A and B are shown apart, each in its own frame.
Chain A
């Protein structure tokens, strides 16, 4: 089955700098890769997703890149702000099957 590895587990950046979180997946047939942001005690919220027919997707300060050959995808947050502090999860899914989550990255933005 699918296995998703996420790095780093914690990340601390200065406000205004960029943050990058990376994930690798094992199932070459996976075709949907969402990223979720979860604040303490709250539900995961979808912040961006990418499908396998696209290499990059951007939404304001957030971008995701996908390398199907290497089976990895990354989340890029630019001009970070204190409200970006949260736990971020990547996930991978094949067709209409279940999501497989990475281990999560705790992002802290230092003012």
Chain B
């Protein structure tokens, strides 16, 4: 199947700082990428849909000013957690769509101190 990478795999930051997470489709072009958040022992919660060349579509309850998404090319989408706080600590996973299938990145574990 298609390969999606995510960087970094883990990050620890201080409260109030911003963190950028990259999601890349390595062997295919993805006009649409998705960002999920997953708490321990819970399902994947869709945060936003990232469309190449246009604004992201955020799910209800997700603060667009806090979780900035940029999809500047067909192979790269970024999620920036601005002014991070301990409650933002979570496992963030991206996926890229190829046809109807979605291919997931390995995830980024964010810990905010």
Complex-state Cα separation, A46 to B42, whole angstroms: 18
Cβ contacts under 8 Å, B105 to chain A: 43
CA distance A49 to B41 in the complex (A): 23
CB pair A44–B44 under 8 Å, yes or no, is yes
Which residue of the partner chain, among A32, A89, A96, contacts B44 with CB atoms under 8 Å?
A89
State whether the Cβ of A98 lies closer than 8 Å to any Cβ in chain B: yes
Q: How far is A36 from B44 in the complex, measured between Cα atoms in Å?
A: 11
Dominant secondary structure at the B interface: strand
Number of A-B contacts (CB under 8 A): 44
A14-52, CB under 8 A of B: which get 1 and which 0?
000000000000000000101010000111111001010
| CB proximity to A under 8 Å, residues B14-73 | 32, 34, 41-44, 46, 49
Which residues in B have some Cβ–Cβ distance to A below 8 Å?
Answer: 1, 32, 34, 41-44, 46, 49, 91, 93, 97, 100-107, 109
Task: Rank and list the top 10 A-B pairs by shortest CB-CB distance, nearest first.
Answer: A43-B104, A32-B100, A43-B106, A101-B43, A104-B43, A44-B104, A103-B43, A101-B44, A43-B107, A98-B46
Using CB atoms and an 8 Å cutoff, list the residues of chain A in contact with chain B: 32, 34, 36, 41-46, 49, 51, 89, 93, 96, 98-99, 101-104, 106
Instruction: Offer 24 A-B interface pairs, CB within 8 angstroms, sorted by A.
Output: A32-B100, A34-B101, A36-B104, A41-B91, A42-B106, A43-B93, A43-B104, A43-B105, A43-B106, A43-B107, A44-B93, A44-B104, A49-B101, A51-B100, A89-B43, A93-B100, A98-B46, A98-B49, A99-B102, A101-B44, A102-B43, A103-B42, A103-B43, A106-B41
